[in-house]
Amino acid sequence: MPGKTFGIIGTRDASQYGKEQAYRFAKELANAGFVIVSGYAKGIDSAAHWGTVANNQKTIAVLPTGILKFQLHQEITEIADDFFNNAIILSEFYPLSEWSVGNALLRNRITAALSDYILVVESGDSGGTLNTAEHARLMGKKVFLYKGIQSPADEKIIDLGAIPVNNFTELTNHLDTETS
């Protein structure tokens, strides 16, 4: 599947375990040839970007702000050179646009559009994760839900057609059956 993109998304208020899983999935998917896409927020998104570039792989960060408002999150600053060498940073907003809920929701449709597949690692009870999964469904993208964390919006995401997976092997088995 080289050249394909995989969106890894989730809550900004992620648990430590959720961030570890996002990092691990990003690392494994990137090493399998996927470019990792995420929304460049703290929590799951940053962990996905970090797991990708810390392993010298490629990521796409879709900003909910203008490009001149872009700042590296603390967990990314440790690997800033790797980030800039391995990331495409995108924004559809005017360069000085501030963060807003509206901008974040608009950003989610681009994250979904750029992703061939989406993996929800950990969700909140509402918000951007569910919004991105809805965009992906409307675009005909395959959405997966990591079931290792019981998240408030899991049932809503499954109702959108997400495929529950317990680990990387299950995820890749679904991808293998799709290409057979």
Q: Is the pLDDT of residue 165 over 60?
A: yes
Q: Domains along the chain? A: 5-179 (3.40.50.450)
pTM for the whole structure: 0.92
* Average pLDDT value for residue range 142-160: 92
Over the stretch 21-50, which tens digit does the pLDDT of each residue have?
999 999 999 999 999 999 988 899 999 999
How many H helices and E strands in the chain? 8, 7
CA–CA distance, 77 with 83 (Å, rounded to integer): 8
Over the stretch 50-84, which tens digit does the pLDDT of each residue have?
999 988 999 999 999 998 887 766 556 666 677 77
User: What pLDDT does residue 68 have?
Assistant: 86
DSSP3 helix / strand / coil % (the chain, rounded to 5): 45, 20, 35
CA–CA distance, 116 with 146 (Å, rounded to integer): 17
